[in-house]
Structure 1
Amino acid sequence: MAAFIFYVTLFTLMASTSQADAAQTSAAALLLRVDQSGKGDYEKIQDAIDAVPSNNKEVVFILVNPGIYHEKIVVPADKPFITLSGSKPNDTVITGSDSGDIFESATFTVLASDFVGRYLTIQNTCGAGAKAVALRVSGDRAAFFGCRILSYQDTLLDDTGRHYYSNCYIEGAVDFIFGNAASLFERCHLHTLSEGGASITAQRRESPSEETGFTFLGCKITGVRTAVLGRPWGPYSRVIFALTYMSNVILPQGWDDWGDSSKQSTVFYREYKCYGPGANNRKRVEWSQQLTTKEAKIFLTKNMIGGKSWIRSTPKRFKKASSAISNNSTTH
């Protein structure tokens, strides 16, 4: 009951704070094209982002033509309402190999609100042995559709804000989905490269008052050897897997307390009607639970992140950028 009341309160709060209203969604989006061969408005993705005015108030649709873009990209906090889109994720690849600090190593960093990423591969090729973030999402109301997010350790820093991931492929080995956002992962494919019991998630909720947590709805989990579903980066870590296929890579215990038994009484680790050989709950740790149908109801829609009020559809009308914005990357 406490969880139900919590999420009803969360939904009410989030619905009241959304800024992406219907009028904005229906307006013509400003179209910018990125093409490495010089046939677009810009040759680099970052140059197109830099061209968006500060405190932007209209949807800017940046279409990225196929190619491998060796860039370290930041979407600044003062540039909301940007959509960055490829046509096929395998064809449009944003790649880097930085490592070290989790906040600085990301190949792609989103600080702005109301960002949308579509059909992109975002990767960090650093490999094993270092923290190497592919995607950091620190803005509110961010959504990703059909993206591939790839690294080894700390792949996706789902840092803060409300986020939605749909039909994404996310790959890594150690804590590869981590942070303290309030996020819904729907129909995503999680592939663990763990060689022996590393955790897929490390959610960082640090107090009962924080309105954060990860929900995986209708997802699929595969991997190369064995892994657990989550471990608590924060003592009140909250992760839910619902209606998700779990291959036999998931260890029978399911969850790990990160060597701190005191967190067993404060974490919120739940499963609901998951299936597959890794979903067998007979040997799950006693401090995780299966949700009843009534308890699960609040987690089975976008309401849990207030998403119906801010997740925007693809623009149907476009307008060409003015020469003041579309000046080609040579001016930067």
Structure 2
Amino acid sequence: MITTIRVSQDGQGDFNTIQAAINSIPAQMPHETCITIQSGVYKEKLEINKPHLHLRGVGDVSIVYDDFAKKPGASGQPIGTFASSSTYITAGNIKIDNITFENPAGDGDVVGQAVALYVDADQVAFRNCRFIAAQDTLYLGRPKEQFTNQSGRNYFENCRIVGDIDFIFGSATAYFHQCEIVSLNRNKAINGYITAAATPIDKEYGFIFNQCKLLSDADEHTVYLGRPWRDYAKTVFIDCWMDRHVHPEGWHDWEKVCVNTTVYYGEYGSVGPGSNVSGRVPWAKQLEEEDLTKFTLSHCFGGDISWTRWRDK
């Protein structure tokens, strides 16, 4: 059984806002609810806090909010990274397709972090979605040592993620399949870092990029594949196309020499102008073909991947 709710800004749906539709769902709803969202720009600071949801954009759908870390809160102090998020997902078993999540607050040098989407939940899957911001676009779970770590498994298929500084970051296990990873041009000597994983020491997998395209109009050699937000960061790129913006060293240690022996940074089958691995840092791994069995979707997610599939596939 599936309950369907229609959201439309023209007054022809069940609700005019996405949050109102989510709030209408009983907390203990035992079956899936499908929320279809008609074309429009929805300026909402959204919390998706009910499980067993499928949010589906019909046409061109954007969820937009422009909070930012340096913005003063009620106390007069900056609200910080977490509170800057445009959308929060805090319930599991969520599917989302054909929706843009955007935080247009602007340049991180001016506004600080401005998160388009925060996810701290298990079994959350995205397809044909777009995530657009600058610094800290996609926040996938707070670090374990700071809060109870409920961040779980997140899946991204055929998505486009746009940002510059640490714009895919957090403690989740996240698998990116055939996505476009777009680094913005900040016109600086170093234009950014794609990832900043905070993988807990007891988690086997962090971020896995499979058959993705790393794109940018930034100058060559100005963007790193990643740097470790926490000391046991885990990130791998498998069979990815890399443009010339990728720095020859690949990885940065965030001025923490200790991480040279604790992180797991790996790469296999890279192609494109930025794929030459001869200059990669010596503490990163060049994976062998036999290593790839450890990085299949099923293996990374512990066997059950049914939640990553849509009924139309």
Q: What's the TM-score, normalizing by structure 2? A: 0.88
Residue of structure 2 in register with 1:13 after alignment: none
Counterpart of 2:113 in 1: which secondary structure?
coil
**Is the contact between residue 229 and residue 250 of structure 1 (CA under 8 Å) also seen in structure 2?**
yes
* Aligned equivalent of 2:156, options 165, 179, 182: 165
* Aligned equivalent of 2:87, options 108, 119, 139: 108
Counterpart of 2:83 in 1: which secondary structure?
coil
**Is the contact between residue 125 and residue 307 of structure 2 (CA under 8 Å) also seen in structure 1?**
no
Residue of structure 2 in register with 1:120 after alignment: 99
Q: What's the TM-score, normalizing by structure 1? A: 0.83
**1:137 partner letter:** V
Identity %: 36
Aligned mates of 1:310, 1:50 — CA distance in 2: 23
Aligned mates of 2:223, 2:185 — CA distance in 1: 6
Instruction: Give how far 1:312 is off.
Output: 4.0
The structure with the largest helix share of the pair is 1
Counterpart of 1:87 in 2: which secondary structure?
strand
Aligned mates of 1:68, 1:170 — CA distance in 2: 18
Deviations 1:219-278 (A, max 9, x none): 000112220000000101000000000000101000000011111111000001111111
**1:93 partner letter:** S
Q: Quick check: 1:49 aligned with 2:46? A: no
Residue of structure 1 in register with 2:193 after alignment: 199
**2:154 partner letter:** H
Residue of structure 2 in register with 1:138 after alignment: 120
**Is the contact between residue 180 and residue 212 of structure 1 (CA under 8 Å) also seen in structure 2?**
no
Aligned mates of 2:283, 2:292 — CA distance in 1: 17
Alignment of 1:1-332 (within 5 A): 28-76=1-49, 79-88=50-59, 91-100=60-69, 101-129=80-108, 130-159=112-141, 160-195=151-186, 196-197=189-190, 198-207=192-201, 209-225=202-218, 226-306=222-302, 307-314=304-311
**Is the contact between residue 267 and residue 287 of structure 2 (CA under 8 Å) also seen in structure 1?**
yes
Aligned mates of 1:302, 1:194 — CA distance in 2: 35
Aligned mates of 1:138, 1:48 — CA distance in 2: 21
Counterpart of 1:263 in 2: which secondary structure?
helix
The alignment yields a C-alpha RMSD, in angstroms, of: 1.4
Could you list the runs of 4 or more consecutive aligned residues of structure 1 that deviate by over 6 angstroms after TM superposition? none
Deviations 1:154-202 (A, max 9, x none): 0000112101000000000000000000111000000001434321000
**2:305 partner letter:** K
Residue of structure 2 in register with 1:3 after alignment: none
**Is the contact between residue 224 and residue 247 of structure 2 (CA under 8 Å) also seen in structure 1?**
yes
Instruction: Give how far 1:29 is off.
Output: 1.5
Question: What is the aligned length?
Answer: 284
Structure 2 unaligned spans of 5+: 70-79, 142-150
Counterpart of 1:39 in 2: which secondary structure?
coil
- CA change 1:194–1:269 in 2 (3 A) is farther
Instruction: Give how far 1:102 is off.
Output: 2.2
Structure 1 unaligned spans of 5+: 1-27, 317-332
